[in-house]
Amino acid sequence: MKFRAAVATAAALPLALGLAACGGSDKPAATGPAASVPVTSQPVAEPQKVVTPTAPVRLNRVTFVPAMNSALTKQKSWRTVGKMTVGGTTAMTITGIQTANPPAMSMQLSGPAFGEQAAKVIVAGGAFYASIPGATPAGKWVKTKAGSAAELDELLQGGDPTKIFKSFDKSMVNVKFVRAEKVAGQQLDRYTVTVDTLKALKLQGKKLPAGVKASDLPKTLAYTMWMDADDLVRRLTFDLGGVAMEMTMSDYNKPVTITAPPANKIVKR
């Protein structure tokens, strides 16, 4: 179970890609019969030109990653909400906000592993702050340089869509458009994206848990993603051996403020 949960957390990513809008069509207007006795001249309406609808452009293996890059680079901020279930029981929920410039993140995780409290993580000003029940005093934070604490970094990256997003260029196996559908009132395009599991984990800098061999991993992992007309991910799900994750992204480019905890709340490890 430790292995499956670790892999599931590593796989929890949102991406960004999209859908091109399609055009409409006009019906030709009918012309009336000409008068048999031309007492007065009546103008005859000319037939209107028929406009052929433009077929929606779907993403494929070649266009997928460029579309993701183009969409994400236009975003200054976004909100992420995720839920992981194991055997149908909620194991962890993730909520967070993130900014691209300056790069910053504020994330909250809750679940049985944290008891009745929630773990909180902030990345701001190049530093990493964590407040974890059972590991830090209530209301206090530990501070480390971003990238210096492997466990905390991996925890953070599990809820950061951009980290796993970058691995898709070289780990993607296939992209398949499923259908267009409405989700929560939004018209979205649904895709299935298949990646090479080992390549994706390696590119994300993930290490396999102790006792787990590469041969224990499934060869590929499939994500189901729903994209809007602005080439942005709105929802993502996957299921890996009974460990399922659902993530949504919203509030793109909405103003957010992420600040480091005050100095009097920082404690030494």
CATH of the domain at 61: 2.50.20.20
On whether residue 135 sits in a domain, the answer given is yes
Q: What is the mean pLDDT of residues 91-114?
A: 90
Task: Look at phi and psi of residue 231 and say left if phi exceeds 0, alpha if psi is from -120 to 50, else beta.
Answer: left
Q: Is residue 253 part of a domain?
A: yes
Other Cβ atoms less than 10 A from the Cβ of 91: the count is 19
pLDDT of residue 146: 62
- For tokens 């993603």, name the residue: 225
Classify residue 27: in a domain, yes or no.
no
CB 101 within 8 A of CB 83: no
Q: What is the pTM of this model?
A: 0.72
- Asked if residues 65 and 172 have their Cβ atoms less than 8 Å apart, the reply is yes
Chain segment 114-126, per-residue pLDDT in tens: 887 899 999 998 8
Structural contact between residues 182 and 188, judged by C-beta atoms closer than 8 angstroms: yes
Residue 38 within a domain? no
- At residue 74, φ and ψ (nearest 5 deg) are -90, -5
Average pLDDT, the chain: 77
Selected residue with higher pLDDT from 21 and 233: 233
Answer whether 233's CB lies under 8 Å from 214's CB: no
Name 213's Cβ contacts closer than 8 Å, sequence gap at least 6: none
Question: Comparing 60 with 264, which gets the higher pLDDT?
Answer: 264
pLDDT for residue 162: 65
- In this structure, is residue 209 part of a structural domain? yes
* Residues contacting 224, CB < 8 A, separation 6+: 178, 190, 191, 192, 193, 236, 237, 238
Tell me, yes or no, whether 210 lies in a domain: yes
SS3 per residue for 63-81: CHHHHHHHHHCCCCEEEEE
pLDDT reported for residue 231:
81
Pick the range with the lowest mean pLDDT from 30-39, 126-135, 147-156, 173-182. 30-39
Residue 140 above 70 pLDDT? yes
How many CA atoms lie within 13 Å of 147's alpha carbon, on the beta-carbon side?
4
pLDDT band at residue 7 under the 50/70/90 scheme: very low
- pLDDT above 70: percentage of residues in the chain: 72
Name the least confident of 7-11, 55-59, 71-75, 186-190. 7-11
pLDDT level of residue 34 (50, 70, 90 thresholds): very low
Distances (CA, A) of 205 to 99, 154, 171, 198: 22, 9, 13, 11
CB contact at 8 A, 121 and 128: yes
Taking the C-alpha atoms of residue 194 and residue 223, their distance in angstroms, rounded to an integer, is 6
Q: Can you tell me the mean pLDDT for 192-202?
A: 88
Instruction: Please give the tally of structural domains in the chain.
Output: 1
Does residue 34 lie within any of the structural domains?
no
Residue 174 structural domain: 2-17+54-259
Residues 249 and 161: beta-carbon distance below 8 Å = yes
Q: Is residue 174 part of a domain?
A: yes
Mean pLDDT to the nearest integer, 193-222: 83
